[in-house]
């Protein structure tokens, strides 16, 4: 192979967080790299040791969709000029190295987030590729199943549920102790779902809520 691949391939360390969309969050995926550059995967496969299904990584995009027809997202992308700035500020990761996951309706802010916080790896997860902008430090995952990530491992995730408590519960279960779930276009039932899943809502206003998972007392005592 000659030449340089674009820098928007998939972040290698991300694969530790991924889980099989068919078998659920307890089942991780094994990565087989075909082409990579500077710790980023350009192409390969993600395999589930449980159901033996393979998912492709092509042109730097992870495709974890289960069906040929992806379920179309019903809600429109969230319109907010300061969206990227708000996500970075509320994530608590502005100065830190880490992975920040952004959902379907926020994907258009991904590239700007990565520019504002160059140490962050921004991971888009959604059903349509046109909902995310390509950019350095942005990984893209296509998924029609609910959030293909391991539980209690994600440090920061931003979604816009718009009245989808089921999505909020699933997202909240992914948040690590000390981690945050940012909710945009949040409805009362969304906030309630975050609380019921063990998060504490630490700030809210203007259609935004920040929910946090407390550090486990055992973990904190160490
Ligand atoms: Zn599986």
Cβ atoms of 5 and 35 closer than 8 Å: yes
Q: How far is the CA of 49 from the centre of ligand 1 (A)?
A: 7
Mean of the per-residue pLDDT values of the chain: 89
Q: How far is the CA of 153 from the centre of ligand 1 (A)?
A: 19
Cβ atoms of 59 and 5 closer than 8 Å: no
Cβ atoms of 36 and 11 closer than 8 Å: no
Question: Domain spans of the chain?
Answer: 10-60, 83-221
Does 221 have pLDDT greater than 90? no
Report the run of H or E that residue 172 belongs to, with start and end: helix 165-174
Q: How far is the CA of 28 from the centre of ligand 1 (A)?
A: 8
Q: How far is the CA of 180 from the centre of ligand 1 (A)?
A: 27
Return the SS3 of 165.
helix
Q: How far is the CA of 221 from the centre of ligand 1 (A)?
A: 36
Q: Greater confidence, 39 or 4?
A: 39
Q: How far is the CA of 52 from the centre of ligand 1 (A)?
A: 6
Cβ atoms of 177 and 156 closer than 8 Å: no
Q: How far is the CA of 50 from the centre of ligand 1 (A)?
A: 5
Q: How far apart are CA 190 and CA 200, in angstroms?
A: 13
Does 3 have pLDDT greater than 80? no
Place 181 in a pLDDT band, splitting at 50, 70 and 90.
very high
Q: How far is the CA of 55 from the centre of ligand 1 (A)?
A: 10
Cβ atoms of 174 and 152 closer than 8 Å: yes
Q: How far apart are CA 89 and CA 56, in angstroms?
A: 34
Q: How far is the CA of 19 from the centre of ligand 1 (A)?
A: 8
For 106-155, how does the pLDDT look when each residue is reduced to its tens digit (9 = 90+)?
Answer: 999 999 999 999 999 999 999 888 899 888 889 999 998 879 999 999 99
Place 2 in a pLDDT band, splitting at 50, 70 and 90.
very low
Please tell me the CATH superfamily of domain 83-221, with its number.
Vaccinia Virus protein VP39 (3.40.50.150)
Q: What is the dihedral of CA 157, 93, 131, 85, to 10 degrees?
A: 120
Q: Do β-strands 154-159 and 98-102 pair in parallel, antiparallel, or remain unpaired?
A: parallel
Q: How far is the CA of 174 from the centre of ligand 1 (A)?
A: 18
pLDDT value at residue 102: 97
DSSP 14: G
């Amino acid at each position: 192979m000659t030449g340089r691949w674009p820098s928007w391939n998939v972040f290698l360390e991300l694969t530790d967080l991924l889980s099989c969309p068919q078998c659920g969050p307890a089942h991780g995926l094994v990565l087989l790299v075909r082409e990579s550059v500077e710790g980023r995967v350009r192409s390969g496969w993600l395999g589930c040791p449980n159901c033996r299904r393979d998912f492709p990584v092509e042109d730097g995009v992870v495709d974890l969709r289960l069906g040929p027809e992806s379920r179309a997202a019903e809600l429109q992308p969230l319109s907010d000029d300061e969206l990227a700035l708000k996500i970075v500020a509320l994530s608590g990761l502005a100065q830190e190295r880490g992975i920040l996951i952004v959902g379907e309706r926020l994907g258009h802010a991904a590239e700007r987030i990565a520019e504002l916080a160059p140490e962050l790896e921004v991971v888009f997860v959604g059903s349509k590729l046109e909902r995310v902008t390509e950019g350095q430090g942005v990984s893209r995952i296509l998924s029609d199943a609910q959030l293909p990530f391991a539980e209690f491992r994600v440090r920061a995730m931003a979604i816009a549920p718009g009245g989808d408590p089921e999505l909020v519960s699933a997202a909240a279960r992914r948040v690590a102790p000390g981690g945050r779930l940012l909710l945009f276009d949040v409805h009362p039932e969304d906030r309630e779902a975050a609380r019921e899943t063990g998060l504490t809502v630490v700030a809210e206003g203007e259609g935004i809520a920040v929910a946090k998972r407390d550090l486990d007392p055992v973990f904190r005592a160490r």
